[in-house]
Structure 1
Amino acid sequence: MPVKDLLVHIDHGRASPARLDAAIALAAAHDAHLVGLYVLSRPHIPGFIRTQIPPVLLKHQEEALGTSARQAEEHFNDAVRRAGVKGEWRCVDGDPEPVLSLHARYCDLCVVGQRDPEGEDATMDPAMPDRLILTVGRPVLVVPKVGDYPVIGKRVLVAWDASRLATRAVNDALPILTAADHVSVLAVNPRGGEDGHGDIPSADICLHLARHGIKAEAEHVYADDVDVGAMLLSTLAAEGADLLVMGAYGHTRWRELVLGGATRHILEHMTVPVLMSH
């Protein structure tokens, strides 16, 4: 199924302009409709504290929120107009994760930003983007908090472990993989057995991709002393890839938070946009 409906999360953080540019580039490449979603999220202030805040300060806060939203809308409309992309602006009250999850269910791909603890957005939702990836039911493209990404999906690396999540990610990424110039499928420390890889790791999924007209290279590496996430980042750099495709949270999220895992490592240290599915 082609990508025809994109949604991008817009905020007033430092990474938002580059995220919008990346979403516009994808929309233009796939002749897709682009929804820009701005969530009017207010800091959670306990009632007993709010009663002690002068009303004039609360009024100024509301005015500042409205001004930021209007500036973001103007920037979005100007950017899509200059790019010749079909765009639609939405501004919704609420918390980012549930609002995005609701709206993204009616799109083919949701574009969000990497969590930026050092950013200036005081209303940043701590559930983003992790919980969104787990709950939305759609593929999520996470754009790094630093850098510009005008080209996404020309050289793609697929992280393959023969799991349900990896299978879902590959299927979700098919429209992008079809348009790519180069696709590599990498299995890190592949295992055999009934629930593992075949005789040649990554070969079976590459054969499936070939039937979709996608010429993919099967790769595998054994490196028990290297973290899977670190190996993926190293391979991305070595191959000059501009997109990573992977399943997200093969283990429970709390287990990855406590013990670490490939998803957590990539979300914290990503160097290129990552398409994740759960």
Structure 2
Amino acid sequence: MPLKDLLLVIGKDTEAGELYTLELARLSGAALTVTSSGAVPSLPAFIRSELPSDLLDHMREDVESTARAALEGFAKRAPEVGVTVETVIPDISRGDVTGEVSRLARYFDVTVL
């Protein structure tokens, strides 16, 4: 079965997977979509209730901006090896990045973590 659609999940220390997936996409001619595994820390309710109301919003914004920067950086490097990339920013508002990535992965032939 030929590979047509690849999903790459990037995060901290995923350079080896990034290089592998770029080469796999180049060799197979597959479309490559990349997303991030960054997540807002999950805090128990008793801790969240004690935090200032805007602190979690700032934490979420920080995670989103870090993920966006990583995805944009990867998308800029990919054309150097002849691969075009689509980026997908996961919805982290609910704090369930694993669920978001799992749902997304169902639409691809291969997911590289």
Q: What TM-score do the two structures reach when normalised by structure 2? A: 0.84
Letter in 2 for 1:75: G
Deviations 1:19-55 (A, max 9, x none): 2111101100111101101245221112221111123
- Corresponding residue for residue 64 of structure 2: 66
* Residue in 2 that maps onto 1:198: none
3-state SS in 2 of match to 1:42:
coil
Which protein is bigger by CA-based radius of gyration?
1
In structure 1, the residue matched to 2:17 is 19
- How far apart, in 1, do the equivalents of 2:82 and 2:37 lie? 25
What residue number does 2:112 align with? 111
Residues 161-200 of structure 1, C-alpha deviation per residue, up to 9 Å, x if partnerless? xxxxxxxxxxxxxxxxxxxxxxxxxxxxxxxxxxxxxxxx
- The 3-state SS of whatever aligns with 2:51 is coil
Calculate the aligned-residue CA RMSD, in Å: 1.8
**For each residue in 1:109-155, what CA deviation from the matched residue of structure 2 results, as whole angstroms up to 9, or x when unmatched?**
1101xxxxxxxxxxxxxxxxxxxxxxxxxxxxxxxxxxxxxxxxxxx
| Secondary structure class of the residue paired with 1:103 | helix
Structure 2 distance, partners of 1:19, 1:64, is: 24
Figure out how many residues of one structure are paired with residues of the other and give that number: 110
Secondary structure at 1:76 match in 2: helix
SS at match of 1:18: helix
**8 Å contact kept, 1:39–1:91:** no
Runs of 5+ in structure 2 lacking a partner?
A: none
Q: Shift in Å at residue 68 of structure 1? A: 0.5
Counting helix residues as a fraction of each chain, which structure ranks higher?
2
CA separation in 2, counterparts of 1:62 and 1:106? 26
Runs of 4+ in 1 over 3 A off after TM superposition: none
**Higher relative contact order (CA closer than 8 Å, sequence separation 6+):** 2
The aligned counterpart of 1:10 is 10
- Structure 1: 5+ residue runs without aligned partners? 113-278
Question: SS of the residue aligned with 1:93?
Answer: coil
CA distance in 1, matches of 2:97, 2:21: 18
Letter in structure 2 aligned against 1:5: D
Structure 1 residues 96 and 57: CA distance shift in structure 2, 3 A: closer
Q: CA deviation at 1:102?
A: 1.5
For 1:1-278, list aligned pairs within 5 A: 1-11=1-11, 13=12, 15-94=13-92, 95-112=96-113
Q: CA contact under 8 A between 1:32 and 1:86: conserved in structure 2? A: no
% identical equivalent positions = 35
